[in-house]
Amino acid sequence: MTPFIILSSRAAPLLRDNVDTDAIIPSREMKSTGRTGLADGLFAPWRYLDAAARTPDPEFSLNRPEASGAQILLGGANFGCGSSREHAVWALAEYGMRCVIAPSFAPIFRANCIRNGLLPVTLPEAAIAPMAWQAITVDLPAQEVRCADAVHRFEIEPEPREMLLEGLDAIDLTLKSLPAIEDWTSLDRKARPWVYLERTQ
Amino acid sequence: MTVQKAKTLFEKIWDAHHVADTATGASLIAVDRVFLHERTGAAALKSMAAAKRPVCDPARVFAVMDHIVDTRPGRGDGTLMEGGSAFITETRAAAKAAGITLFDVNDRDQGITHVISPELGIVLPGLTLVAPDSHTCTQGALGALAWGIGSSEAEHAMATGVLRLDRPKTMRVTYRGKLAPGVTAKDMVLALIAANGAGGGAGHVVEFAGEAVRALDIEARMTLCNMATEFAAMTGIIAPDARTFEYLADRRYAPENFDEPYWHTLRTDDGARFDREIEIDAAALAPMVSWGTSPEHAMPVDGTVPQGPPRAHDYIGLDAGAPLLGTPIDVAFIGSCTNARISDLRRAAAMLKGRHIAPSIRKALVVPGSSAVKRAAEAEGLDAIFTAAGFEWRASGCSLCFFAGGESFPEGSRTVSSTNRNFEGRQGPGIRTHIASPETVVASAIAGMIADPRELLVGN
């Protein structure tokens, strides 16, 4: 996974509350069983006047010329609500986004971001709105977003911060604790035998 | 003398699954059950195989075909969604290779994950269960800590037996008093979200408690917990009680020694503190219907549309101040992990018996939540009541709770749906969805317009 340390980019606004993962990537745009080929379907219901013909809606934020190359998306409250589909994050990442800044996130979407090297930054709505179309810097070690003269500190738990900074693969990291997990499991088998199943089919 | 700290139900389950702390102060939490479905199951299992990571305990991993499986009679691997068969065949192959238990398309036990997991006793009180499906919170109704995750986290749980988690906050939502006739668990949860916002539960595990919750049967408790994700909560949970233990007796994967003493400790201690408490007067609740494009846009069926975001009013075609009652509808849908269990179908059929849907309804569907629900309904003759009333009767699956690119409703339809999401385009491009209880769906289908189910109650 690519580490996330510091990122400077223009910020594209999508300042609507409750942007759901069906809007980020509709089920009908999830055409393969893999994790790729999703960028084209990103925000398909809003980005295209005719999704089938892929006719862009020039009014949609990401279709504006100044959105070209933007790696930061500004969102509204409860961003990424709804379906747990990780395709929403895969689509954003494949499109080129590395960071989403919003007043709040839906929890599954936020966890999916962290597992894919995409930084979710929580800031108040009043701090986010002036960043629209500005060149901003997101600095994870300092936990700051800098926009013109304004500096906004953001909070992130130590665990996801470390995972993003180091570009760590969570499974590789956890497998280092395998002996502890196996010890715990063998004790648990005695304490809670009813939890453990035999294969029946 | 040591004094034990009073704990919430969540804290007891969390602590019982705490394997170790991570270097950065998060926790490794043991996962007891993983459930996959065909929409993302193949992706997760194939990715693990490519990384040469085996499933660490296949006996505790299950998969089912529910999301895009065809619900028309005589189905096979074909789907109305273009390219959908690949999801089914690849999930089947990957499940076989990984050695996990699969409930296949035409298996007797096939059904929606959150319907079959309780039916089969796969979820149990005190367990942790995860699935790459946001509505996994449904299963908290049995007293388990069950929550939705992404595909990468599903791989993590299968490969390691644990997840890396920061401890969530706790919230208790207490419903005081008794529900009025015609008001259901669906209305309870919609009222909660309408009052506190679709983001209101963010970062919290929500325990549902109080007289009105205790009075719910297990299936209604599932409806209540089902929409915890629509509240942005990590999950919902209800303390198990005698009803729970009775429900689980003789379920296939439940332990034979049914009276597991540990289960009786699974309740919040007196004096335990929650990070947040909400109280709701259950007796004051009315049947709820969504008016807009988020579950927080819900209102009593007999009220007037409040002022919301202009975009929501534009999409749904209702202005602030308009009554919902009398709004003409085109489609009625009873299905989904929210409201398609046998008790839901019984209540809907009881209201429909001897009646017919309005001639203006262009499509009316009942999609049972599982193959077992379908068989039980047919044995009771409910299917005949639905079809005589003008509903189509289908095989089980997630169906038109969401639009996957195959079957849809007529263009521009206004639907009343027993599902959980009324997002823009959720049920198809331009489809305007009003989520409500099965009772409200039935009353509206009969009237051909959004209607108050209390007017059709037996005796009225």
pLDDT in tens, B220-243: 999 999 999 999 999 999 999 999
Q: Report yes or no: A174 at the B interface, CB cutoff 8 Å.
A: yes
pLDDT in tens, B94-142: 999 999 999 999 999 999 999 999 999 999 999 999 999 999 999 999 9
Task: Determine the pLDDT at residue B451.
Answer: 98
Please give the pLDDT value at position B59: 97
Please tell me if residue A50 touches chain B, with a CB cutoff of 8 Å: no
- pLDDT at residue A201 tops 70: no
Q: What is the mean pLDDT of chain B?
A: 96
Note whether A140 contacts B: Cβ–Cβ < 8 A: no
Contact criterion met (CB < 8 Å) for A78 and B197? yes
Higher pLDDT, residue A73 or B406: A73
pLDDT of residue A32: 87
B291 and B327 Cβ atoms separated by less than 8 Å: no
Q: Which helix (DSSP H) or strand (DSSP E) does residue B147 occupy? A: strand B145-148
pLDDT score recorded for residue A1: 86
Residues of B in contact with A107 (CB under 8 A): 202-203, 232-234
Chain B residues within 8 A of A30 when measuring between CB atoms: 39
- From B156, B229, B402, residue closest to A27, measured CB to CB: B402
B1 against A108, higher pLDDT = A108
- Inform me whether the pLDDT recorded for A94 exceeds 80: yes
Mind listing the domains of chain B with CATH numbers?
A: 24-165 (3.30.499.10), 169-257+271-284 (3.40.1060.10), 290-455 (3.30.499.10)
B153 contacts A115? CB cut-off 8 A: yes
Among the listed residues A80, A176, A116, the one whose alpha carbon sits nearest the alpha carbon of residue B229: A80
State pLDDT tens for residues B324-367.
Answer: 999 999 999 999 999 999 999 999 999 999 999 999 999 999 99
Span B427-443, mean pLDDT? 97
Contact B24 A195 (CB under 8 A): no
Q: In terms of DSSP bridges, do strands B18-21 and A150-153 run parallel, antiparallel, or are they unpaired?
A: unpaired
The confidence score (pLDDT) of residue B260 equals: 78
Instruction: Name the strand (E) or helix (H) holding B101.
Output: strand B101-103
Best mutation target, A84, A116, A159, A165, to test chain B (most B CBs within 10 A): A84
Enter the tokens of residue B15: 């602590």
Q: d(Cα A102, Cα B397) in Å, to the nearest integer?
A: 34
Nearest chain A residue to B24 by CA distance is A159
Percent of all residues in chain B with a pLDDT value above 70, rounded to a whole number: 98
- Indicate the pLDDT class of residue B258, thresholds 50, 70 and 90: low
pLDDT for B160-201, tens place per residue? 999 999 999 999 999 999 999 999 999 999 999 999 999 999
| A192 touches B: beta carbon within 8 Å | yes
Which domains are delineated in chain A? Answer: 6-168 (3.20.19.10)
Is the pTM higher than 0.80? The answer reads: yes
- Of the pLDDT bands very low, low, confident and very high (cuts 50, 70, 90), residue A14 is very high
Nearest by Cα to B439 from B414, B418, B460: B418
Nearest to A41 by CA among A112, A95, A116: A95
Percent over 90 (pLDDT), chain A = 94
Whether the pLDDT of residue B3 is over 80: the answer is no
Reply yes or no on whether the pLDDT at B460 is more than 60: no
Contact A131, A147 (CB under 8 A): yes
Q: For residue A161, list chain B residues with Cβ-Cβ distance below 8 A.
A: 24
Confidence of residue A33 (pLDDT cuts 50, 70, 90): confident
Question: B213, B118 in Cβ contact below 8 A?
Answer: no
Q: Which residues from chain A sit within 8 angstroms of residue B397, using beta carbons?
A: none
Subunit contact B152:A115, Cβ cutoff 8 A: yes
* pLDDT over 70 (residue B277): yes
Does the CB of A45 have a partner CB in chain B at under 8 Å?
Answer: yes
B1-28 average pLDDT score: 92
| Cα separation, B47 vs B42, whole angstroms | 8
Distance CA B401, CA B336 (A): 6
Distance, in angstroms, between B156 CA and closest chain A CA?
Answer: 5
Q: How confident is residue B459, by pLDDT bands cut at 50, 70 and 90?
A: low
Mean pLDDT score, A190-199: 91
Question: What tokens appear for B311 in the block?
Answer: 């975009």
